[in-house]
Amino acid sequence: MRILIVDDEPAVHDSYAFCFSGGRGVSTETRHALDTMAADLFGRSPGVAALDEGGDLPFDFEPSHCHQGIEAVAAVEQAMADGRPFAVAFIDIRMPPGIDGRETARRIRALDPDIHLVMVTGYSDFSPVEIGRVAGPADKIFYIAKPFEFAEISQMALALCRRWQNDRELTATRALLAAKVATLEEKSAELEANESRAMHIALHDALTDAPNRTAFLRALTERGRQAGHFATAMLDLDRFKLVNDTLGHLAGDELIREVCTMIQHSVPPGTMVARLGGDEFGLFFDTRDEAAAVAVCERVVAACATSFNILGHAVRCGASCGLVLSDSHADRDPTDLVRRADLALNDAKRSGRGVVRVFDTHMDDGIRIRREIEAGLAQAIARDELSLSFQPIVGRGALDVVGFEALVRWNTAAHGMVSPAIFIPIAEESHLIHDLGDWVLDHALAELRHWPGQYVSVNFSPIQFRRSHFVGHIMASVKRAGVDPGRVQIEITETAIFDDAERASKTLGELRGLGFRIALDDFGTGYSSLYNIRKFALDCLKIDRSFIDGMGRERESAAIVHSIIHLGRALGMGVVAEGVETEAQAQALRVAGASHLQGFLFSRPVPAEEARALAAQHWLPFAGVGDTGVIIEGVRS
Ligand code: C2E
Ligand code: CA
Ligand code: CA
């Protein structure tokens, strides 16, 4: 601990030197007196009393001796520059011929704000107030009268050194604290920034920076709580997949961005435009009435139906839009609004693209009925609501009934008769098709035993066909029913076989090997090349009804019918024309060479008892055949 002593009398320096020599020669009594005094002054034991006789002071005092004020000021300046400041300076007031103690104190204070100054004087040349004014603050200036006691000096030095050290530690702690506070403030600002960035990311779409689905639903909820009419719209790009597939994902992304900007520019002020995902956008805006809302959406759709320059390619896209209005206090649930706008959008897409559709309750009914059907179908078998109808398949000439197609019927308590064209796809989606298919097969096989020799033609969905152990499964049913596989025709569609041609080919081969007949149903509507069907073990092709229907009107249909018949004959297969409704069609098909006919002209699908009767008869009691002798002969016989 550094101490500065400034006095012009060499003898005084000796006294100081003795004081800082470690307390040797100080009586125990004096030491105790010093201790008590320090305790009174500073509220704690300074530790002098703890010193044993001849022991060390708690500080290692390092006195510097100066004989003139100027010299002392220089010493302080040096100490400050070295970073080793003095803790205390003992300054004599009178030091002729140089500057006096007051001036010395003033200059020292100017250099070092922390040093404790002890003015040592025999005269009261200056009042403490005067000195305090030039060398303050007052709590850092002390006075000792000459002649002083050694103990007085050492006690003073000790106490002031302690205080000086405490002050320094306090200052350092304060600085540290201030730094910590600054860092904390910085961190909290950073956190705040991070939080708002995270919020932004959570509520915005990364590609377009438009609000995302979450933000859209939140804002829509908020809007729903307020009064006034508003419209919610779903917008979906037409042919977006094509852009993605042909030009790549980068182009797709670019198109989405461009379209988003285009939508934002074509909506009225205050409209929320959100990207909900993929190529789907959601909007909502205040509106006067339906006509005004439709006008807004039509403007947006028109704006999207333009050519965008995407990575150097001119891309035409276009959009479809579904719209729902909220004009009452009911119907403001955001999820429901989005759902209904979506239904309207689906309707828009179905009815040709680039259109705007307003939600209508019948769109909702479709979905509801679909769900009801799905639920009802699961119980239909148990409730005995299913039945089979049988439609005769007749030979082309004599109208002999060679077989019957089994067609499932569902008479529901809630909706009356439901067409298989409606419930079969639902059964396929929900996998009820397996139970349903098993029921149909078992009942068809049971009925077959009442017919003299005809075959039964059973429809199988592609999902059933792809089931593992399909062959074993059918075989087991046939065995159980005690039926010859040669009297069972399996009707499958092109989709069933061309998805996995190799496996299908194997399955068909096995079935054929067991004696089953195989018919390719709805032929011509799929995508299979006519040439490819050679590879499959088939017994006959069933020409789709749509071609028979179009035969009289369109040249293409007639040409397709002709080529299918030729192909079938060339490959040694039978060709069944289904959906024959008029005599003209029947006539044309006979001429073209179809081997079998099926359709309302001959018979609608009939209940099992009627089918039994027809089967027993072998020929249809068909009168309206006209002048084809063969048929009339057949009917007559
Ligand atoms: P599909 O296999 O093409 O069956 C022929 C459909 O055409 C039947 O309709 C039949 O009633 C109808 N039809 C027959 N002749 C004529 C005609 O001259 N004119 C017109 N306009 N239609 C005629 P249905 O019974 O409504 O069956 C529709 C479809 O449902 C069937 O088409 C078949 O794909 C499916 N289906 C029916 N029963 C079953 C089944 O048990 N299992 C499976 N998987 N699907 C079945
Ligand atoms: Ca069929
Ligand atoms: Ca068919």
pLDDT category, 151, cuts 50, 70, 90? confident
Tell me: pLDDT of 614 over 50.
yes
Give domain 2-171's CATH number out of 3.40.50.300, 3.40.1160.10, 3.40.50.2300, 2.40.30.10: 3.40.50.2300
**Residue in 16, 278, 12, 9 with CA at minimum distance from that of residue 156:** 16
Residue 12, φ and ψ in degrees, nearest 5: -65, -40
Q: What superfamily would CATH give domain 368-617?
A: EAL domain (3.20.20.450)
- Integer angstrom CA distances of residue 336 from 35, 326, 556: 86, 11, 46
Highest mean pLDDT among 180-194, 351-365, 438-452: 438-452
Does the pTM surpass 0.95? The reply is no
Structure tokens at 279: 């190529």
Average pLDDT of the residues of the chain: 87
Per-residue model confidence as pLDDT tens digits over 221-275: 999 988 899 999 999 998 888 888 888 899 999 999 999 999 999 999 999 999 9
pLDDT at residue 250, as a whole number: 92
C-beta separation of 88 from 29 below 8 A: no
460 lines ligand 1 (CB under 6 A): yes
Amino acid found at 496: A
Tell me: pLDDT of 630 over 60.
no
pLDDT category, 194, cuts 50, 70, 90? confident
| Closest residue by CA, ligand 1 atom 43 | 459
Mean pLDDT of 149-157: 87
pLDDT at residue 626, as a whole number: 38
pLDDT category, 632, cuts 50, 70, 90? very low
Q: Where are the domains of the chain?
A: 2-171, 213-363, 368-617
Tell me: pLDDT of 592 over 50.
yes
Highest mean pLDDT among 32-41, 70-79, 185-194, 491-500: 70-79
544 lines ligand 1 (CB under 6 A): no
Nearest-atom index, ligand 1, CA of 461: 44
Mean pLDDT of 460-467: 93
**Residue in 396, 401, 354 with CA at minimum distance from that of residue 591:** 396
Tell me: pLDDT of 482 over 90.
yes
Give domain 213-363's CATH number out of 3.40.50.12170, 3.30.930.10, 3.30.70.270, 3.40.50.2300: 3.30.70.270
2-171 against 213-363: fold identical: no
Tell me: pLDDT of 54 over 50.
no
244 lines ligand 1 (CB under 6 A): no
Amino acid found at 376: G
Tell me: pLDDT of 624 over 80.
no
581 lines ligand 1 (CB under 6 A): yes
pLDDT at residue 465, as a whole number: 93
pLDDT category, 625, cuts 50, 70, 90? very low
pLDDT at residue 47, as a whole number: 45
Say how many Å lie between the CA of residue 405 and the centre of ligand 2.
7
pLDDT category, 555, cuts 50, 70, 90? confident
Residue 165's contacts (CB-CB under 8 Å, 6 or more residues apart) are 1, 87
Handedness of CA 65, 71, 75, 76 (dihedral sign): positive
| Closest residue by CA, ligand 1 atom 15 | 599
DSSP 568-614: HHHTT-EEEE----SHHHHHHHHHHT-SEE-STTT---EEHHHHHHH
C-beta separation of 257 from 263 below 8 A: no
Pocket test for ligand 1, best of 419, 459, 601 (most atoms within 8 A of CB): 459
Neighbours of 509 (CB within 10 A): 14
